[in-house]
């Protein structure tokens, strides 16, 4: 058995571990306001809703369909634009607000000279911030083959914690972290539709970790997501919160109390997975991943729709060949091709694939490789 080098493992982890002024043609729509000279510093005027919108703002994080909440795009600001002729993409950073005190930076990266490209939403796992969306390599890779890429971060994460209490984190605010971001996905899709420069009949979403769990919830309530690709998605909260090595140890007792578990029961991806509406679904799980316990991974796989393609990797090293050199992005783009045929078989022998572990049992054995 060939062992995978540390260098390749680190490279794979780096791959998976884990805005600008345009006037729309829509009738009656106001042109967005550009940010001040320093676009990386959020202007104080953009941190809240206008008074007239604050009065009607209503949001229930436990109600995932957007129609059951009153959210309105109130601030639409182009923060930054990177349009260099030598690059195969055009990158925009949009500053969008539809919730008090929670401005969102959405990075929209379009392939150059491709009219109305299909689009893939990218949502990586907490606590990853927006850094990768500013990286030219990421932008060039995700827009390859004529696809647009849209990146953002979940609620109570990264740039979205600037106006929050220091006591808040993704886990102790889990109902909001999940529910609000599901609303954000739907609002972002609304915004992309309103622009008119994307093929909204071919929308995919790639989510990792917490982003994968959010992708499942979003696809369950929004049929516009045609292809869903999730990597070790979080879910099965009673198991996850009790066993995940990612949960802060000092928070574990409070998060596992029955009263807290009750608050997150309505946003548990394991319960919503059977309702996913995407025509093509893939789940990639990495066993021995302390962040997402094996028992919770198995529960998620059992809950997946019957035609879901399931790739089980024995450990992180077994996953490296599937992720290196941008191959992680291939499946969702193939499934969004005009002539793509979704997997229609329910036989597990045809849709479940297992890749045995590649790391030695004792990590100290690596020194002999």
What are the C-alpha distances in Å from 213 to residues 81, 107, 223, 300?
30, 21, 16, 10
> What is the C-alpha separation between 270 and 216, in angstroms, rounded?
9
pLDDT in tens, the chain (369 residues): 444 444 444 344 444 443 222 222 233 334 444 433 333 333 343 456 877 888 888 999 999 999 999 999 998 999 999 999 999 999 999 999 999 889 999 999 999 999 999 999 999 999 999 999 999 999 999 999 999 999 999 999 998 998 888 899 999 999 999 999 999 999 999 999 999 999 999 999 999 999 999 999 999 999 999 999 999 999 999 999 999 999 999 999 999 999 999 999 999 999 999 999 999 999 999 999 889 999 999 999 999 999 999 999 999 999 999 888 888 999 999 999 999 888 887 888 889 999 999 887 655 544 434
Which run of H or of E encompasses 6? Answer: helix 6-16
pLDDT attached to residue 176:
96
> What is the C-alpha separation between 96 and 94, in angstroms, rounded?
6
pLDDT attached to residue 45:
39
E-assigned strand segments in 173-273:
203-208, 227-231
> What is the C-alpha separation between 304 and 318, in angstroms, rounded?
22
pLDDT attached to residue 363:
54
Give the pair of three-digit tokens for residue 275. 């309702």
Q: What predicted TM-score, i.e. pTM, was given to this entire model?
A: 0.86
pLDDT attached to residue 342:
84
> What is the C-alpha separation between 309 and 285, in angstroms, rounded?
11
110-124 confidence digits (pLDDT tens) = 999 999 999 999 999
Provide the CB-side half-sphere exposure for 237 (13 A, CA).
25
Give the pair of three-digit tokens for residue 41. 């510093």
70 in helix, strand or coil?
A: strand
Total residue count of the chain as it appears in this document? 369
Which is nearest to 95 in space by CA: 71, 126, 73? 73
Beta bridge partners of 206: 122, 229
Domains of the chain: 6-368 (3.40.50.1820)
């Amino acid at each position: 058995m060939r062992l995978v080098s540390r260098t390749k493992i680190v490279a794979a982890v780096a791959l998976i571990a884990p805005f600008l002024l345009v006037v729309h043609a829509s009738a009656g729509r106001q042109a967005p306001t550009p940010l001040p000279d320093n676009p990386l510093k959020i202007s104080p005027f953009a941190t809240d809703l206008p008074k007239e919108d604050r009065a009607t703002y209503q949001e229930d994080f436990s109600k995932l369909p957007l129609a059951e909440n009153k959210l309105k795009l109130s601030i639409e600001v182009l923060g930054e634009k990177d349009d260099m002729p030598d690059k195969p993409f055009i990158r925009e950073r949009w500053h969008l607000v539809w919730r008090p005190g929670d401005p969102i930076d959405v990075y929209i990266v379009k392939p150059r000279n491709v009219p109305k490209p299909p689009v893939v939403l990218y949502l990586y796992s907490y606590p990853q911030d927006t850094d990768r969306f500013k990286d030219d390599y990421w932008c060039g890779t995700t827009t390859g083959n004529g696809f647009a890429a849209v990146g953002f971060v979940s609620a109570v994460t990264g740039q979205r914690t600037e106006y929050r209490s220091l006591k808040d984190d993704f886990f102790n605010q889990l109902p909001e972290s999940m529910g609000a971001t599901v609303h954000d996905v739907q609002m972002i899709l609304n915004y992309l539709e309103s622009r008119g420069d994307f093929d909204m009949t071919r929308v995919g979403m790639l989510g990792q970790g917490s982003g994968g769990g959010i992708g499942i919830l979003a696809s369950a309530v929004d049929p516009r997501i045609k292809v869903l690709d999730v990597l070790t998605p979080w879910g099965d909260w009673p198991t996850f919160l009790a066993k995940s090595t990612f949960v802060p140890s000092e928070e574990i007792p409070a998060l596992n109390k029955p009263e807290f578990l009750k608050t997150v029961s309505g946003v548990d991806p394991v319960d919503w997975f059977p309702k996913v509406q995407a025509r093509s679904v893939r789940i990639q799980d990495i066993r021995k991943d302390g962040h997402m316990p094996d028992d919770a991974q198995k529960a998620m796989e059992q809950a997946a729709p019957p035609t879901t393609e399931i790739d089980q990797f024995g450990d992180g090293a077994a996953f490296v060949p599937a992720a290196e050199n941008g191959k992680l992005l291939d499946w969702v783009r193939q499934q969004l091709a005009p002539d793509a045929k979704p997997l229609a078989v329910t036989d597990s022998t045809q849709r479940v694939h297992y890749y045995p572990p590649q790391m030695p049992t004792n990590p100290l054995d690596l020194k002999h490789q």
